[in-house]
Structure 1
Amino acid sequence: MPRALSRATQILSSASDTPRLDAELLMAASLGIGRDRLILDEPRGETPATFFDLVERRRSGEPVAYITGHRGFWTIDLEVGPGALVPRPDSETLIAAAVEHFAGTAGPSRILDLGTGPGTLLLAALDEWPKATGLGIDASDAALAYARRNAHRLGVGGRAEFRIGNWAEGIDARFDLLLCNPPYIAAGAETGPGVREYEPAEALFAGPEGLDDYRRLAPEIGRLLAPGGLAAIEIGFDQAEAASALLMEQGLSPALALDLADRPRALIIRG
């Protein structure tokens, strides 16, 4: 198996920025075990016959999460697949900002996740705050099907509600925590291998500047955010100034949160 992993890493080096990690995840999936077990207690025996089939799918650009059917995020594991945006580690910046904001308190009581996809941000927040309830909105039936299954599997189905919708349209309640990872890629921008080809365009692209959905969201944030609450909105690494300006036009005062690579990643608004 070490030889197979080395060969797979070489094959994937032209198709991925993380070829060794991808190879390990695919080997673990073909063995039906977790990557941690693969690394800590390497199985002996023949390489599974399906392994290089999975490698070839990844070499063609298919996201690892679609191949394995799941992706880890924050403290949870999510089912993902075609029709749902793959959770990115960068989005954990929003949860980290919320944890910092609510430190020393009982935490948020009511959470809203606009553009929830497979439930990524809402379910991570509900896992963080076991007494909270939440609402996830998305325009995609396919994404919401993943979200509902994830909520049930994680044991929070009774605390999570998911609805089809157009951002905050029809919502008149206030929330202690508002989370949002909107589409923010400019229509003509380059993307990583397989992103444009496999992931849902409506979850990725937002007009010629990548700002279309911030324009829709900015007028809604103030009315949705409860006093003492927090809104965390993901942005592209080069959108801090432009997205902040749209929020400031609505009388909001956004602060900037950086991701683990010290790049601008979220705008934070305190109620």
Structure 2
Amino acid sequence: MLAHYLEKPRSWILAHPEAPLNKTQYNNIIQAADRLMHGEVLPYIIGHWEFYGMDFHLTPAVLIPRPETELLVERGINWLRQHLTRRKAVDVGTGSGCIGITLVKNIPDLQVLLMDISSAALMVARDNAEKYDVMGRTKFKQADLLEGVSGPFDLICANLPYIPSSLLSILPVAKREPHLALDGGLSGIKVISRLLEQSRSKLLTGGLMLLEIESSQGLAVKTLAKAHFPTSKVQIL
């Protein structure tokens, strides 16, 4: 928070604890601290958050990027670097665009379609694509998962809602972040199941599909994936 309002890196804040605040900085920090005390979360207050060494613009319309999602991105980057002819990807449920845009920034000739059912989320993703100067290699589409997209794609990435509906009322995250990005239906894998079904005709032979899921859902999702892609290798990491 201090780094944001002082417009300094965190290392500078730690190295200069004696630095005085001007009136505007002081007032902004006090107001932000008050919002924190009333339950708002820091990324929405300051309007941005770090992901994979990049700084993404955020609004309450999108999920806050999390470190565990960086593992999915790292896997995608490594695979793309090993498969030099695989250069067409889609980020389903893109939210802030952090997955797709990070892939594009790390793979110079990659083309990525960023998709979300929320128009407000796509506006945030577009802002981030403009910020990182990748508009020429990104496209945007508002749709429910892969509906209306012909593909096919070399890489399908998705961090979809995976929290069971019954748990949303008792989890603090449901009060702070968009319900649409969290509610995974009765079992928590309703949306993931639909994407797996749609992906059968959208994923190129030999392509890769990367999904973020909750740790307890591994067996159920693996079973679904094998049903839709019976000849493919399915791994839970």
**How far apart are 1:43 and its partner, in Å?**
5.7
Q: Distance in 1 between matches of 2:159 and 2:82?
A: 26
Q: Do residues 34 (structure 1) and 9 (structure 2) align?
A: yes
Corresponding position of 1:256 = 236
1:247 touches 1:253 (CA, 8 Å); kept in 2? no
Which amino acid in 1 is paired with 2:208?
A: L
* Structure 2 spans left out of the alignment, 5+ residues: none
| Cα-to-partner distance string for 1:7-58 (whole Å, 9 max, x where unaligned) | xxxxxxxxxxxxxxxxxxx121221223233234446114723213212212
Which of 125, 129, 139 pairs up with 2:107?
A: 129
Q: Distance in 2 between matches of 1:61 and 1:237?
A: 27
2:77 touches 2:107 (CA, 8 Å); kept in 1? no
Q: Do residues 237 (structure 1) and 215 (structure 2) align?
A: yes
Instruction: Identify the structure with the greater helix proportion.
Output: 2
| Matches for 1:198-237 after TM superposition, within 5 Å | 198-237=176-215
Corresponding position of 1:95 = 73
| Cα-to-partner distance string for 1:124-143 (whole Å, 9 max, x where unaligned) | 10011011111011000110
Corresponding position of 1:165 = 143
Corresponding position of 2:32 = 54
* Structure 1 spans left out of the alignment, 5+ residues: 1-25, 258-271
| Matches for 1:136-215 after TM superposition, within 5 Å | 136-189=114-167, 193=172, 195-215=173-193
| Cα-to-partner distance string for 1:96-152 (whole Å, 9 max, x where unaligned) | 111332344437411101101111111010011011111011000110000111101
1:184 touches 1:205 (CA, 8 Å); kept in 2? yes
Corresponding position of 1:120 = 98
Matched-pair identity in %: 29
1:107 touches 1:129 (CA, 8 Å); kept in 2? no
Q: Across the two proteins, how many residue pairs are aligned to each other?
A: 231
CA RMSD of aligned residues (A): 1.9
2:48 touches 2:56 (CA, 8 Å); kept in 1? yes
Call closer, same or farther: CA 1:173–1:80 in 2, change over 3 Å. same
| Cα-to-partner distance string for 1:124-183 (whole Å, 9 max, x where unaligned) | 100110111110110001100001111011100111111100101111211121110010
Q: Distance in 1 between matches of 2:96 and 2:82?
A: 29
TM-score normalised according to structure 2 size: 0.90
Which of 241-250 and 123-132 deviates more?
A: 241-250
Corresponding position of 1:110 = 88
Call closer, same or farther: CA 1:240–1:27 in 2, change over 3 Å. same
Q: Distance in 1 between matches of 2:136 and 2:78?
A: 26
| Cα-to-partner distance string for 1:205-228 (whole Å, 9 max, x where unaligned) | 111221110221111223222233
Which of 112-121 and 55-64 deviates more?
A: 55-64
